[in-house]
Structure formats: structure tokens, C-alpha cells
Amino acid sequence: MILVTGGAGYIGSHAVVALLQAGQEVVVLDNLCNSSRESLTRVAQIAGRAPRFVHGDIRDRVLLDELFQQWPITAVMHFAGLKAVGESVRDPLRYYQTNVAGSITLCQAMADAGIFQLVFSSSATVYGESVSMPICERCPTGIPTNPYGQSKLMAENVLKTLADSDHRWSIALLRYFNPVGAHESGLIGEDPNGIPNNLLPYMLQVAVGRRPYLNVYGDDYPTPDGTGVRDYIHVLDLVDGHLRALERLALGGGVAVWNLGTGRGCSVLEMVRALEGVTGRALPFRVVARRSGDIAQCWADPTKAERELRWRATRDLRAMLEDAWRWQRLNPHGYQGDVEKAAAALAS
Ligand code: NAD
Ligand code: WQD
């Protein structure tokens, strides 16, 4: 049985579907601070069976001990965490407490329960502003420009020293590039609270008419069209990488770092044109000043994961955008809307 922390969230819910479909038993621990119970109802609809659900916090040691006693858990996929960069600048302690202290509490409870296999959600943000592209795992980590990024780097360092101190641990640090897209059913996807920070969720809200236009943050970067370049990866490819990492952990072997990206960079304007191609609608945008803390470009060298995990991203940008668009049209107001009504309206 696999414990999935943060399993009601965007990436976690897709991972739960993949685990259930792979025949695993799953228990989700989530405090629902950035997600809803509805995502797990939809997960059950897709997978044909439901995960167990525990409503609670990764920082709650008593709850973790009970949970590890109650279920025969053999490994943990640890997605739970806070991820809003701007919020982390305003409230850094909350970010360190959840993302760093929460991960420590989880590991302490795991060790006491004799569970030593952990897949951790890290981020390409730990590389800071890399000078050369693509970024491989040997590239030095940088100084992330915000407390969110710092918290991911701190958690990585905690986990590395933990694995060095006790060879029973087997830990995968998965550095995600830019996860986008949704399950092809359109039933689960990213459901940001308030104004989206990330590019694609914002573009989708413009495309469905919830916002008038996209702000393009700068067109004077040293990139081919002047806008920021990122490595967007389909969330389903990303969770595939987690399942491969989990298989690999069962073989033992300390701590390993893997980039999960496609190896291809895409600019903001390329994203705009590609989404227009998928929706058949013009996407209004305005070029505004650069966003503070943004880097010009960032894409992965994914060959280490290809070699060691036999994993490779297979879905292209069109599939990412088509799946994201299906999710957005069926659920214009995220999990708060009525998917059946939306589906009927789309069909008529
Ligand atoms: P998300 O916010 O959708 O999911 C995180 C889940 O964790 C939510 O369901 C939330 O309710 C839960 N959670 C938060 N604090 C908790 C706590 N103290 N106890 C229990 N549950 C808690 O975010 P996501 O995009 O699915 O991200 C998952 C992980 O991947 C995060 O750790 C994030 O930092 C990391 N990551 C995300 C991205 C991205 O762009 N989405 C990129 C790199 C890394
Ligand atoms: C992508 C590009 C923006 C919004 C952030 C976090 C990072 C990570 C993922 C977890 C950039 C441009 C964006 C908009 C725009 N999360 N943009 N208008 O900046 O690569 O990474 O999210 O670990 O930590 O920093 O992703 O989607 O915010 O931006 O022009 O309204 O789109 O400038 O070039 P980013 P993003």
C-alpha cells in the first residue's frame, strides 16, 4: 500500500489514478488546504475504485503514527506542500514549516514505522538561474529567489543527509520542470485558488472568458522571441515518472535525483499561439513588465531519467493543451462546478 500525501491536489490526484490503475492500494493524506474532496470522487470515477482518504496534516505526528499502524504502507509519495511563490515571500515561515518541517515530521514517523521508501516532489527551481541549457542533475543548485524555492532546496538537503546517515533509506528527489495538462477524461485537472500564478491556468481562464487578457511578463529576454522559455511537461508523463521511480526505490540505493522534463523549451508566445490553435479562438494578451524573480529560460536534460528509469515524456505540447482545455471547458469553475451540466452543455 502506498501513502500519497497531498493526493487530493493537482499532481497528487493524477498520481493516485495511475497507482490505482497499476493495481496498488492507496491511502491519501491531505488537509485540503489547496484542494477539495471532489477531486478524489473523480479519481474513483476514473479508476473504478477509490483510494482510502485521511483528512489531516503531514505535521501531525500522532496522526501519522496512527496511519502507519493502521495500514500496511510500504512507500510514500510525498506531494503535500505549499507552492505559491508570491505567498511564500509574504509568509515564509508557513512555507518552511509545511515544506521543510512537515517533510521532517513525515520522515521521522516513517522511520519509526520501518518505512524507508520515499518519492519527493522537488522542483527545477532549485537550480536557480542556470547559465547553460539544458539543465542536467550534475548542474549545481543555485540560490532560489524566493522562500518557496528555498524550502524545496532545504527539504532536498535534509533528505540527502538522511539517506547518507542510514542506508535503509531509498529516496527519489524528482525535480519537476513545468507540469501542465490534465487527465484525458477531463474529470481531474489543476484548480487554482484565486488568480492563477502560472501561465497555462491563467491562459485557460482567459480562453473561457473568466479574465479579459493575459499579461505577458516581458518580451525583452535574451530568447528567440524575447518571452520566457520553459519546459512544459504533461502531468500524465510526470506521474509515469513517479511510478518508475517507485519501482526503482524497491531495489534500494540511497538517494537519487532525476529531472522530469521533456528536454524542449517553449516560449510564452509559442504557448499563446499553440493554445489558439487548440481552442480556435484568439487569446488576447498584453506585454507588461518582467515579473520579479523570473528567469529567462529553463529546460531539462532528461537523459538521466531516460537511462536509469527507462522513462521518457511522450506527450507533446498539443496533447498537453488539448487535455488542459478539455478540463477547463468541462469545469470552468474547477471542482466547484457541476461537471455533468457542463458536459451536457458542451454536447448540445
Ligand atoms: P497542489 O497544491 O495542487 O497539491 C498539494 C496538496 O497538498 C494539496 O491538496 C494540499 O491541500 C495538500 N497540503 C498542503 N499542505 C498540507 C499539509 N500540511 N498536510 C497535508 N496536506 C497538505 O500542488 P501540486 O501542483 O499538485 O504540487 C504537488 C507538489 O509538487 C508540491 O510539493 C509542489 O511544491 C511540487 N511541485 C509542483 C510544481 C507545479 O508547478 N505544480 C512544480 C514543481 C514542484
Ligand atoms: C512560465 C512563463 C512567466 C504567468 C513557477 C515557480 C516554480 C514552479 C512552477 C513549483 C514565465 C510567464 C506567467 C503569466 C506570463 N513551481 N508568465 N504571464 O515561472 O517557470 O515557475 O511555477 O516548483 O517554482 O516559480 O512558471 O507558469 O509561472 O511562468 O507571461 O500570467 O510564463 O514570466 O516566463 P515558472 P509560470
pLDDT tens for each residue of 218-276 = 999 999 999 999 999 999 999 999 999 999 999 988 999 999 999 999 999 999 999 99
Average pLDDT over residues 201-207: 96
Domain 2-347 in CATH: superfamily? NAD(P)-binding Rossmann-like Domain (3.40.50.720)
Q: Whose CA is nearest to atom 33 of ligand 2?
A: 217
Q: Whose CA is nearest to atom 30 of ligand 2?
A: 216
Q: How far, in Å, CA of 235 to CA of 116, rounded?
A: 26
Q: Of residues 101 and 132, which shows the higher confidence score?
A: 101
Ligand 1 and 151: CB distance under 6 A: no
For residue 301, is pLDDT > 70?
yes
Q: What is the mean pLDDT of the chain?
A: 96
For residue 198, how far is its CA from the centre of ligand 2 (angstroms)? 5
For residue 80, how far is its CA from the centre of ligand 1 (angstroms)? 5
Q: Whose CA is nearest to atom 1 of ligand 2?
A: 199
The structural domains of the chain, with segments of one domain joined by +, span 2-347
Q: How far, in Å, CA of 118 to CA of 255, rounded?
A: 9
Ligand 2 and 146: CB distance under 6 A: no
Q: How far, in Å, CA of 108 to CA of 341, rounded?
A: 46
Report pLDDT for 99: 98
What is the best residue among 4, 30, 159 to mutate for testing ligand 1's pocket, by most ligand atoms within 8 Å of CB? Answer: 30
Question: Is the link from the previous residue into 179 a cis peptide, with omega within 30 of 0?
Answer: no
Ligand 2 and 125: CB distance under 6 A: yes
